[in-house]
Amino acid sequence: GNSVTQMEGPVTLSEEAFLTINCTYTATGYPSLFWYVQYPGEGLQLLLKATKADDKGSNKGFEATYRKETTSFHLEKGSVQVSDSAVYFCALRNPLSGYALNFGKGTSLLVTP
Amino acid sequence: DAGVIQSPRHEVTEMGQEVTLRCKPISGHNSLFWYRQTMMRGLELLIYFNNNVPIDDSGMPEDRFSAKMPNASFSTLKIQPSEPRDSAVYFCASSSRGGQTEQFFGPGTRLTVL
């Protein structure tokens, strides 16, 4: 079946530090991969996506590259801000299994001034 | 343009009571998804609809849960009777093109069953 594994949090960083949140997946075929962000008290928002191998998704300074050889989609940002504090979810959508999203457990990020 | 609307935002009820959660998808979207978020299990799909028809309900925990979509602009998730283990945040999401495009999430309903 489809599954997503993320590094467990919480992750605490100082402002302007480099961020990496690891994500690996298991799926047959060619899934699309996503990162969603959830700010406190809000629903999930799409942060970035990649639909095929070697695609790089990017948004708001965040990047992730779809690596089929390592089945990974790690999230990175060169310089985090306090406003990036949130929970980040890696997810996949496998057309072979329908259009629902399979989510990782989420990684909580806290950025301190 | 309004996003996905869910009501109520918070619900506290006692075990055994009926609970109804409501969702209004984004206008023009033809796919609707209900997810449940708990600390133990993370985000799980409960059911999704395409053109008001349930396509996959394999995530619905048991017969106490039921979902309907009587028209393109409204869906309900009902729990009867509710149990403490149903306490969670329930999210509704919608998308267009049969689910092939981005899913937009509502703010969620936080349900507490005492």
The pLDDT value given to residue B39 = 87
User: Mutating which of B40, B41, B43 best tests the A interface, going by the most A Cβ atoms within 10 A?
Assistant: B43
Question: Would you state the pLDDT for residue B101?
Answer: 79
- State the smallest CA–CA distance between residue B17 and chain A in angstroms: 25
Closest of B61, B49, B58, B41 to residue B93, by C-alpha? B49
Beta bridge partners of A9: none
Flag whether residue A40 sits within 8 Å of chain B, measured between CB atoms.
Answer: no
Contact B43 A103 (CB under 8 A): yes
Identify whether the C-beta of residue A111 lies closer than 8 Å to the C-beta of residue A21.
no
Q: How many helices (H) and strands (E) does chain B have?
A: 0, 11
| CB contacts, 8 Å: B108 with chain A | 43
Distance of CA B69 to the CA centre of its chain: 11
* Residue B98 φ then ψ, to 5°: 65, 20
Provide the pLDDT confidence category of residue A9 given band limits of 50, 70 and 90.
confident
Among A25-39, A62-76, B49-63, B91-105, which is the least confidently predicted range? B91-105
B6: closest CA of chain A, how far (Å): 10
In this complex, is the C-beta atom of A23 within 8 Å of any C-beta atom belonging to chain B? no
Tokens of B80: 């009867």
A1 and B CB contact within 8 Å: no
3-state DSSP assignment of residue B12 = strand
pLDDT band of A22, cuts 50, 70, 90: very high
Nearest Cα residue to A13 out of A88, A112, A85, A108: A112
pLDDT band at A64 (very low <50, low <70, confident <90, very high): very high
For the cut 80, the answer to whether the pLDDT of residue A11 exceeds it is: yes
**Interface test with chain A among B55, B101, B105, B109, by most A beta carbons within 10 Å:** B105
CA A88 to chain centre: 6
Q: Give yes or no for a cis peptide into A95 (omega within 30° of 0).
A: no
Which residue reads 């918070």 in tokens?
A: B10
Collapsing DSSP to helix, strand or coil, A41 comes out as: coil
Cα angle value B39/B40/B44 (rounded, 5°): 85
Chain-chain contact of A98 with B55 (C-beta, under 8 angstroms):
yes
Q: Which of A33, A32, A29, A11 is closest to A20 using CA atoms?
A: A11
Q: What is the mean pLDDT of each run of 10 residues along chain B (114 residues)?
A: 91 97 96 93 92 91 93 96 96 85 92 97
Q: Which residues of B58-81 are buried (b: 16+ CB within 10 A; e: fewer)?
A: ebbeeeebebebeebbebebebee
Give the tens place of pLDDT for each residue, A90-111.
Answer: 999 987 777 889 999 999 999 9
> Following CA atoms B14, B20, B26, B29 in sequence, which dihedral angle do they give, to the nearest 10 degrees?
130
